[in-house]
Amino acid sequence: MKRLFVAIGCALCLSVAAYAAEPAKAPAAPDAKAAVAAPAATPAAATATAPVDAAKPAVAPAAAPAKKKEIKADRTITITMFAIIIAITMGIVVWAAKHTKTAADFYAAGGGITGTQNGWAIAGDYMSAASFLGISGLISLYGYDGFMYSVGWLVAYITVLLIVAEPCRNAGKYTLGDILSFRTEPKPVRAVAALSTVTVATFYLTAQMVGAGKLMQLLIGIPYKTAIIGVGILMVGYVVFGGMTATTWVQIIKAALLMCGAFLLSVLVMVKAGFNPIGFFDEIVNNPAIQDYTSKLVLKDGVILNGLDAGQRFIEPGLFLKAPLDQISLGMALVMGTAGMPHILMRFFTVPTAQAARKSVIIAMFLIGGFYILTTLLGFGAAIHLTPQGIKAVDAGGNMATMMLAQQMGADIAPVLGDIFLAFLCAVAFATILAVVSGLVLSASAAIAHDIYVNVVKDGHADQHEQVTAARITSLVVGAVGIVIGILAENQNVAVLVALAFAVAASGNLPVVVMSLFWKKFNTAGVIAGLLVGTIAAIGLLVVSPNMTYPKAIAASAQKTIEALEKKQAALPAGAALDEKDAKALEKAQKTYEANKDGKSMVGLDKPIFPLKNPGIVSIPLGFLAAILATLAFPSRKSEEMWDEIYVRQNTGLGMAKAVDH
């Protein structure tokens, strides 16, 4: 216990030091510069699940308006709120550590979480900073298309409720590997399942870590690496010492804070609209700034819209996801990917009964549904009160829309309230990231420690102390790796990684989970083929899709800027020169062109081969097809003989390992 307190104290001190590292006052100029530079990485970081089109490079002149609206959280107020949240969650870790004695405690909280608590925890695990910031930002810039992301994730839980929640809870123990290995050859299946779990968790974890770093860097000036290290220390502390119990309660607290913040801000938005939904949408359609912004977006497709027609177009589909197949593919990945996410599946092992598992999903659906309704109000409210142009000036991806809206709504009441409200939402976003990364680290460490070490290396012969020790060491290693990857991925388009996480989960994990539970002939060959083909197909298609960065496309865009500015310069009177703004834009475009004209994507391509942003429409069927064909090609009598037992277990819970009594 003494070492526990020392570790927690060190983590707390280092974390607080991370936020206080920069001087309290910084010159205004660097702040504006940060606001300009941030969109290169921040949108991807915070959007999490909203795949920003990396193939569309930012045009240099667009950076100039960034000074138009600056968002800066009050450091003193924000750090105070951060410290309060850290103190509360560290208290939970100390309490949870006293109750974490066995492997069941560490991985599944001893099965002692109630359905209501688990429902809140699932919501907390699912409502990431991406949802809070990214979706509202997409709605503020693309209207209806941003809302489609909310619908996708809400509908996803119907799949979870009807297909996987109860059977997984009854058939498994701690991990995805437990479910898949029940009537197959356990060692190869657990190894491949662990690989898939770690792959999904790594992509998602990287996005959340980079999101934390960029969010703190942009809002309160904390150095990126310092923020990443602070988040990493905290998440490792939550998991290593508190296990699933601490992670669960951190997620519950975070979900409550997030709902409160979103609800309060939504009320302020509706107060402005007189609590009149019809008037609210009329205001969107009649907003001149939205009309002008939409006109320019639609004009790219060769269509000319003005006035009310342009305003109406903002609340219709097709501004962001222009291809119907892209919408279908994204929907498939979201709806099916959720049911295959390892950190979501783990939550069903924490409840004592199948009834509690069903109840937890229903509660999570209501919470998540309510939350996404609120993000819709926030997104459209930001478009009305901040204008899409003003939002893009601060962050090209729109991820700061909610923060900007909070600051303005509070300041309209009293200037200090704007700072308090912004600081509160910064702290909530920080708590959101901590909760999600803790769940991801726990799922990855469980796959390595429980599936690989205990069941493959030790062949299941490890006592409780050894299992818990292995789990804690693995969590520490996974957390450390997460910190390193987060630092290395600072400038990467992490939205691509999140899209990939859901696509991999839908293409690899879901097919084998569903067929393990519902197909009598399914066997070892089917599990391995489904996991490998689905995962490889999703990754392979994504790296040749428009989501990747194509330097020659960036160079072509820069060339257009150069030609336009050179034409403008040629039209000036003899001896006259471009103004300072255009001269800098021309210089930047020329440098961009030279740096990218001969470049290729990370896999050596000049342009995408696969036309869709999300591979789900192809990779998901491939995952199912591979699993089916391999099963039929290599039948297993043992798997068929054990079908009756798994069928009874998944429907009744008979034979499931009992939760440890406390």
pLDDT of residue 348: 86
Report residue 263's pLDDT band, with 50, 70 and 90 as the boundaries: very high
Strongest mean pLDDT among 284-293, 431-440, 461-470, 641-650? 284-293
How far apart CA 208 and CA 368 sit, in angstroms, is 19
Lowest mean pLDDT among 43-52, 90-99, 503-512, 619-628: 43-52
Q: Which residue has the higher pLDDT, 35 or 296?
A: 296
Distant-in-sequence, close-in-space partners of 18: CB < 8 Å, separation ≥ 6: 222, 226, 227, 229, 230
Contact indicator for 626, 512 with CB cutoff of 8 Å: no
pLDDT of residue 300: 67
| Residue 71: inside a domain | yes
Would you give the DSSP letter of residue 610?
Answer: S
pLDDT of residue 493: 56
| Residue 655: inside a domain | no
CATH number, domain containing residue 170: 1.20.1730.10
Terminal-residue alpha carbon distance, the chain: 19
pLDDT of residue 21: 44
Strongest mean pLDDT among 223-227, 249-253, 325-329, 394-398? 249-253
How far apart CA 492 and CA 98 sit, in angstroms, is 40
| Residue 469: inside a domain | yes
Give the C-alpha distances (Å, rounded to integers) separating 527 from 56, 189, 624.
Answer: 38, 7, 10
| Mean pLDDT to the nearest integer, 68-88 | 77
pLDDT of residue 520: 92
| Residue 211: inside a domain | yes
pLDDT of residue 536: 93
Would you give the DSSP letter of residue 658?
Answer: P
Lowest mean pLDDT among 108-112, 298-302, 380-384, 540-544: 298-302
Phi, psi at residue 27, to the nearest 5°?
A: -60, 150
| Residue 20: inside a domain | no
| Residue 592: inside a domain | no
Query: At 123, which helix (H) or strand (E)?
Result: helix 115-126
pLDDT of residue 383: 93
Q: Which of 93, 66, 18, 1 is nearest to 475 (CA)?
A: 93
Report residue 386's pLDDT band, with 50, 70 and 90 as the boundaries: very high
The overall average pLDDT reported for the chain is 80
pLDDT of residue 654: 67
Q: Cα 434 to chain center, whole Å?
A: 12
| Residue 363: inside a domain | yes
| Mean pLDDT to the nearest integer, 14-31 | 41
Of all residues in the chain, the percent with pLDDT exceeding 70 is 85
Structure token pair of residue 180:
């898949």
In 447-579, which residue ranges form alpha helices assigned H by DSSP? 464-488, 494-504, 510-518, 524-542, 551-570
Structure token pair of residue 531:
């996991």
Would you give the DSSP letter of residue 172?
Answer: -
How far apart CA 165 and CA 169 sit, in angstroms, is 6
Local structure of 653: helix, strand or coil: coil
How far apart CA 47 and CA 315 sit, in angstroms, is 20
Residue 616, pLDDT > 70, answer yes
| Mean pLDDT to the nearest integer, 25-48 | 33
Query: At 194, which helix (H) or strand (E)?
Result: helix 186-220
| Residue 147: inside a domain | yes
Residue 33, pLDDT > 60, answer no
How far apart CA 218 and CA 417 sit, in angstroms, is 20
Strongest mean pLDDT among 38-42, 67-71, 403-407? 403-407
Q: What is the pLDDT of residues 49-76, one digit of tens each?
A: 333 333 333 333 333 333 445 567 777 8
Of all residues in the chain, the percent with pLDDT exceeding 90 is 19
Q: b vs e for 476-501, b when ≥16 Cβ sit within 10 Å of the residue's Cβ?
A: bbbbebbbebbbebbebbbbbbbbbb
Contact indicator for 523, 184 with CB cutoff of 8 Å: yes
pLDDT of residue 468: 87
| Mean pLDDT to the nearest integer, 376-399 | 88
Distant-in-sequence, close-in-space partners of 101: CB < 8 Å, separation ≥ 6: 464, 468
Residue 388, pLDDT > 90, answer yes
Report residue 280's pLDDT band, with 50, 70 and 90 as the boundaries: very high
| Mean pLDDT to the nearest integer, 112-129 | 87
pLDDT of residue 182: 84
pLDDT of residue 111: 83
Distant-in-sequence, close-in-space partners of 166: CB < 8 Å, separation ≥ 6: 348, 354, 357, 358, 650
Q: What is the pLDDT of residues 621-635, one digit of tens each?
A: 999 999 999 999 999
Number of domains in the chain: 1
Furthest-apart CA pair in the chain: how many Å? 89
| Mean pLDDT to the nearest integer, 102-117 | 88
Give just the sign of the alpha carbon dihedral 80, 484, 129, 379: positive
Q: What is the pLDDT of residues 196-232, one digit of tens each?
A: 988 888 888 887 888 778 777 777 778 888 888 888 8
Domain that holds residue 47: 38-489
Contact indicator for 662, 99 with CB cutoff of 8 Å: yes
Q: Which residue has the higher pLDDT, 274 or 153?
A: 274
Torsion (CA) 421, 266, 362, 500 in degrees, nearest 10: -70
Lowest mean pLDDT among 13-22, 297-306, 330-339: 13-22
pLDDT of residue 1: 43
Q: What is the pLDDT of residues 531-579, one digit of tens each?
A: 999 999 998 998 888 877 788 888 988 898 898 888 888 888 887 888 8
| Mean pLDDT to the nearest integer, 120-146 | 84
Give just the sign of the alpha carbon dihedral 563, 567, 569, 575: positive
How far apart CA 116 and CA 70 sit, in angstroms, is 41
Residue 42, pLDDT > 50, answer no
Give the C-alpha distances (Å, rounded to integers) separating 301 from 51, 281, 314, 320, 397.
Answer: 20, 25, 14, 12, 20
Report residue 434's pLDDT band, with 50, 70 and 90 as the boundaries: confident
The pTM (predicted TM-score) of the whole model is 0.79
Structure token pair of residue 328:
């279908």
| Mean pLDDT to the nearest integer, 356-384 | 90
Q: Which residue has the higher pLDDT, 620 or 334?
A: 620
Contact indicator for 534, 508 with CB cutoff of 8 Å: yes
